[in-house]
Homo-oligomer: A and B are copies of this chain.
C-alpha cells in the first residue's frame, strides 16, 4: 500500500505533478477498493469520509490526471457513469470483464487471452494495437438457473 502510494508519487513527479493531500486521499481510496469498479461519485463519497473538505471537481481532476498517466483506467459498463480501476503494474493490457446481466456483478479475467487474436488483427488489418477492451455479457455462476429467458436480458445494453 505505502509502496504503491510512493510509486504513484514518483509517477506524478516524473511528469511534474505533485501528490497533494487531496490526490493522495483519492489514490488511497482507489487502492483500498482495488477490486471494485468505482464511479467518480463513489470515489468522492469515500474520500469525503476521510477528507471532508475535498471538492467533487478535485476528484474528477485527479481521476482524469491518473487516467492521463495510465495509472488508472476508465471503464464504461453501460450504466451511464464512468468507472475507474487501477491498472495492474505488470499488465501490458487491460483485463477482461464478465458482466452478469441478472445481478450486475462484474468479475474479471486477469489473464490476457487475446494474444492470438491480436496477432491476427495486426497482420490481417495492419492495425497496431495499443490496448483492448473485452467484455462478456451473460449469466454468472451465481445466477445460473434463476433466469428463464436469458436472451431477453441483452436488449438495450450499451458498451
Interface of A toward B, CB cutoff 8 Å: 64, 67-70, 74-76, 78, 82, 98, 100-101, 107, 109, 113-114, 117-118, 120-121, 125-141, 144, 150-151, 153-159
- Chain B residues near A118 (CB-CB < 8 A): 136
Copy number of this protein in the oligomer?
Answer: 2
Q: A130-B101, A144-B128 are in contact. Are A136 and B155 (CB under 8 A)?
A: no
Can you name 10 A-B residue pairings with CB atoms under 8 Å? A113-B117, A113-B120, A118-B136, A125-B140, A127-B139, A127-B141, A129-B138, A132-B136, A134-B134, A159-B159
With both chains docked as a complex, state the minimum distance between the C-beta of A127 and any C-beta of chain B, in angstroms: 5
Q: A70-B154, A74-B157 are in contact. Are A136 and B144 (CB under 8 A)?
A: no
With both chains docked as a complex, state the minimum distance between the C-beta of A122 and any C-beta of chain B, in angstroms: 9
A98 and B121 contact, CB distance less than 8 A: yes
- Chain B residues near A130 (CB-CB < 8 A): 101, 137-139, 150-151, 153-154
With both chains docked as a complex, state the minimum distance between the C-beta of A109 and any C-beta of chain B, in angstroms: 7
A133 and B132 contact, CB distance less than 8 A: no
With both chains docked as a complex, state the minimum distance between the C-beta of A146 and any C-beta of chain B, in angstroms: 11
